[in-house]
C-alpha cells in the first residue's frame, strides 16, 4: 500500500500488446530495445541502447500502454487502493492464453485467494 514501483514489460514476441493494469493509473516512463538469446531464452536490455521517451499521446496518467515488440516498456505505478486485481493484454485471444496475471495491494482480504 502506498508504494511506487517501476514495472518493466518485456515483449520478446513479434506482436504489440496493449497492456491494461486494473485499478490504478500509471505513467509511461520510457521504452528500450531488448535482445533475446534464442538458445537460453534469456532476455536483456540491448547493450548500448538508449531509452526513448513516451509517445506524444502517452503523457499523463494511463491505464493501458502498448508494449511494442522487441522492447521493454517501463511504467511508474502507485498502489493506493488495497485489494486483488489483474493486469492483462487487451487482445482477447492473448488474455485467454495466460496473458492475464493477478496482483495484490496490501494484505489478503476476506474471500480472496492466497
Chain contacts with Cu ion (rule: CB under 5 A): 17, 89, 91, 94
Expressed in angstroms, the distance from the first to the final Cα of the chain is: 17
- Asked if 17 contacts 93 with a C-beta cutoff of 8 angstroms, the reply is no
Q: From the CB of 11, what's the least distance to Cu ion, in Å?
A: 9
Nearer to Cu ion, 79 or 87 (CB): 87
The smaller minimum CB distance to Cu ion, of residues 13 and 81, is found at: 13
By beta-carbon proximity to Cu ion, the closer residue of 26 and 87 is: 87
DSSP H/E element including 95? helix 92-95
Amino acid at each position: 500500500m502506498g508504494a511506487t514501483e517501476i514495472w518493466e514489460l518485456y515483449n520478446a514476441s513479434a506482436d504489440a500488446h496493449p497492456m491494461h493494469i486494473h485499478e490504478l493509473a500509471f505513467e509511461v516512463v520510457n521504452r528500450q530495445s531488448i535482445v533475446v538469446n534464442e538458445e537460453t531464452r534469456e532476455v536483456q536490455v540491448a547493450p548500448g541502447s538508449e531509452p526513448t521517451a513516451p509517445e506524444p499521446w502517452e503523457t499523463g496518467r494511463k491505464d493501458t500502454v502498448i508494449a511494442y515488440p522487441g522492447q521493454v516498456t517501463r511504467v511508474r505505478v502507485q498502489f493506493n487502493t488495497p485489494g486483488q486485481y489483474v493486469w492483462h493484454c487487451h487482445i482477447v485471444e492473448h488474455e485467454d492464453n495466460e496473458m492475464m496475471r493477478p496482483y495484490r495491494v496490501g494484505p489478503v482480504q476476506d474471500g480472496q485467494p492466497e
